[in-house]
Amino acid sequence: MKNVGVIGGGTMGAGIAEVVAKSGSNVRVLERAEAVDAAQERIATSLARGVKAGKLSEEDSKAALDRVTVTTDIESFSDCELVVEAMPEIESLKLEYFHKLDEIVSPDAILATNTSSIPVIRLANATKHPERVLGMHFFNPVPVMNLVEIVTTLKVDPAVVEKVKTYASETLGKKTIESKDQAGFIVNALLVPYLLSAIRMYETGFASAEDIDEGMVNGCGHPMGPLRLADTVGLDVCLPIAESLYAEFSEPQYAPPVLLRRMVDAGYYGRKSGKGFYDYTKK
């Protein structure tokens, strides 16, 4: 994969671009004009963090950054062999860009989505070549988390699946697992009900956020409690995943708690906004 595209330069898109650039590929990141500088800075800051932690040399960091171009021009993606969409979980927006990309890239190029909740087949059907579309679900923070879920649809070409699995494992150095195309895939289908249960427990006043988290960390050996994990994932991300799971399965454990909806309405998204179940503005 000499040239790779990433649609969206937010937290996930920037992380994907960084990992791809460090692997040796040239990366184009599509962003809105007003967000170009922020996306570039996001990638540069993360690379600098890797240098400070001793995981990356100054030379390799500079080389990786030199391979990244943040642009507003989707037409420049025409020579990309792989494009990974990492936009917000808004289906209409993703459909629009899959349709555009289908007209721009070569028929041999692979289109992937980093969606965590939208059925991949819907995005594939926005193209004339659904056999080359699949899910490539990374986890946050992408440079640190070792997993990529490869999500297969009923229409995807098995050769495309194998090519992406090989690229993710041998070039990007990620562990891959394969999931069928159903809401939540493997990880979120198991994780989100757990997070929602913790939110319901807190919502009823049964226990404090600190005690719920301490219980799971020290009683079950989890590295992070469920409420702090929800804050880290982003409550604005947890909500649409829960809604998608509930729409797909109609089972009570997937129904978003009212508190989660109200916190998202209030702009309390967790760590990214400075406030969620915890206050991250305090020093």
List the catalytic residues: 116, 137, 149, 188
How far apart CA 31 and CA 21 sit, in angstroms, is 17
Q: Which residues contact 113 (CB under 8 A, 6 or more apart)?
A: 84, 85, 94, 98, 120, 123, 133, 134, 135, 136
Across 109-257, the runs of DSSP E, i.e. the strands, are 110-113, 133-138, 147-152, 175-180
How far apart CA 217 and CA 233 sit, in angstroms, is 17
Whether residue 213 contacts residue 225, with contact meaning beta carbons closer than 8 Å, is answered with: yes
The residue type of 213 is D
Given the structure tokens 């420049």, which residue do they identify? 76
The token pair that represents 114 in the structure block: 């980093």
How far apart CA 262 and CA 269 sit, in angstroms, is 10
Query: Which strands sit side by side in the sheet containing 110-113, from one edge to the other?
Result: 68-71, 26-30, 3-7, 82-85, 110-113, 133-138, 147-152, 175-180
Whether residue 74 contacts residue 104, with contact meaning beta carbons closer than 8 Å, is answered with: yes
Q: Residue 26: beta bridge partners?
A: 3
Taking the alpha carbons at both ends of the chain, their separation in whole angstroms is 43
